[in-house]
């Protein structure tokens, strides 16, 4: 990795949240509701490239109403976490993979690339400034969620790649993504909508993919489900992913199957990590196409014993029920262990133990931030 080219100037704010209020905010933080004192900002222009990189007081951004992102959605983001280890050090998980995906997303959205080193340096600069906001690693699943993003800030209504772009990182203390903590979620199968089509932006982490998933998510909620699952846009037959998470299926013989990457599925860092960790646990892992009939029939017959969703925010979350217009099927036996099946549970704990420094990092997946 070439060294960071950008140096992030730190402008500490004098009105940071008092210790007692910050401590209170770290108790049961939920997801995405509270934010630290600072943020990273950097600007890119066609003339100057990346410049003005800094850590500064978090606050509203000033945008011209004609800023291209507000009209054409030229925006990308990442989701990562900082974990506090038992010795008080703070680490993040496979940041170079997020950085590489951020660069791929940038290329797809015609945004400028940020180098892997600059991306990681920006995280280090923010987390070391706001280190006190990293929750203790004692609770089941608390961390500091990091949200790097980049958007077209040029004031111009013509449709072309923006000549001025803003990079920003904000940080948010986080507990479990789903309110109510770790329990099986229910999934609504979308018949009306698809998330991504071949040649589109499905593999990029851009805001537009998430905006496009929301009408289907509304249908899921209206039908009593927590999340929506999308099928492929061509045959409406192959299982792709949820609104913001990848899927895994556990078979009775211990085989773990996840939809293969097709260019329309997000290449999840958690997904890729689970594929390796599951193999280490002695499980057979397959990346292949999974039809919706295989899911429905397999869950009904008991051939599919567990299904789980995964992502940085949701970690590993069991799926308890699949519903669609006119039917539903329960998955596995969710009376045990609070609804977490044994394979889901062991993959989840293997991942969390590694991220929180409770087991040795034999692959070099962790990067120290503070």
Residues that bind ligand COI (CB under 6 A): 79, 244, 311-313
Nearer to ligand COI, 243 or 339 (CB): 243
The single residue listed with the structure tokens 């401590």 is: 23
CB of 315 to ligand COI, least distance (A): 9
Place of tokens 């890729």: 272
Comparing CB distances to ligand COI, the nearer of 206 and 299 is 206
Q: Which two tokens stand for residue 267?
A: 């290449």
Encoded tokens for 199: 């040649």
Minimum CB separation of residue 21 from ligand COI in Å reads 25
Using the minimum distance from each CB to ligand COI, give the nearer residue, 79 or 298.
79
Q: Are 182 and 140 in contact (CB under 8 A)?
A: yes
CB of 366 to ligand COI, least distance (A): 17
Cβ of residue 135: shortest distance to ligand COI, in angstroms? 17
Complete DSSP assignment for 14-78? TTPPPHHHHHHHHSS--SSS---SEEEEEEEETTTEEEEEEEEE--PPP--TTBHHHHH--EEE-
- Smallest gap from Cβ 282 to ligand COI, in A, equals 27
User: Which is nearer to ligand COI, 135 or 298 (by Cβ)?
Assistant: 135
Residue number of the CB closest to ligand COI reads 79
**Shortest reach from residue 113's CB to ligand COI, in Å:** 20
Cβ proximity to ligand COI: between 243 and 357 the closer is 243
Angle between helices 95-108 and 116-129 (to 10 degrees): 120
In the complex with ligand COI, the residue whose CB is nearer, 204 or 299, is 204
Report residue 292 CA to chain centroid gap: 24
CA angle 77, 232, 255 (to 5 degrees): 90
């Amino acid at each position: 990795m070439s060294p960071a080219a950008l140096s992030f100037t730190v402008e500490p704010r004098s009105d940071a949240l008092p210790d007692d209020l910050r401590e209170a905010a770290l108790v049961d933080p939920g997801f995405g509701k509270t934010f630290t004192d600072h943020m990273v900002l950097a600007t890119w222009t066609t003339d100057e490239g990346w410049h003005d990189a800094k850590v500064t007081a978090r606050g509203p951004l000033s945008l011209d109403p004609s800023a291209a992102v507000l009209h054409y959605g030229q925006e990308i983001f990442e989701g990562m976490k900082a974990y506090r280890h038992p010795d008080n050090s703070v680490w993040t998980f496979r940041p170079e993979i997020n950085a590489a995906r951020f660069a791929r997303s940038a290329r797809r959205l015609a945004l400028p690339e940020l180098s892997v080193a600059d991306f990681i340096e920006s995280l280090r600069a923010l987390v070391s400034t706001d280190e006190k906001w990293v929750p203790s690693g004692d609770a089941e699943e608390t961390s500091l969620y990091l949200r790097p993003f980049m958007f077209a800030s040029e004031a111009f209504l013509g449709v072309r790649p923006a000549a001025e772009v803003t990079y920003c990182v904000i940080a948010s203390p986080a507990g479990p993504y789903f309110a109510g903590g770790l329990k099986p979620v229910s999934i609504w199968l979308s018949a009306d909508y698809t998330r991504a089509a071949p040649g589109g932006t499905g593999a990029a982490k851009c805001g537009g993919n998430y905006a496009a998933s929301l009408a289907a998510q509304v249908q899921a909620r209206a039908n009593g489900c927590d999340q929506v699952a999308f099928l492929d846009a061509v045959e409406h037959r192959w299982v792709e992913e949820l609104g913001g998470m990848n899927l895994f299926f556990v078979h009775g013989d211990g085989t773990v199957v996840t939809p293969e990457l097709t260019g329309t599925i997000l290449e999840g860092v958690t997904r890729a990590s689970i594929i390796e960790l599951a193999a280490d646990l002695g499980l057979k892992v397959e990346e292949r196409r999974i039809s919706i009939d295989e899911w429905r029939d397999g869950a009904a017959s008991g051939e599919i014993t567990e299904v789980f969703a995964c992502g940085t925010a949701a970690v590993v979350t069991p799926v308890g029920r699949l519903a669609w217009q006119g039917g539903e099927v329960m998955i596995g036996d969710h009376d045990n262990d609070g609804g977490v099946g044994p394979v889901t549970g062991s993959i989840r704990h293997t991942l969390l133990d590694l991220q929180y420094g409770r087991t040795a990092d034999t692959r070099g997946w962790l990067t120290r931030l503070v």
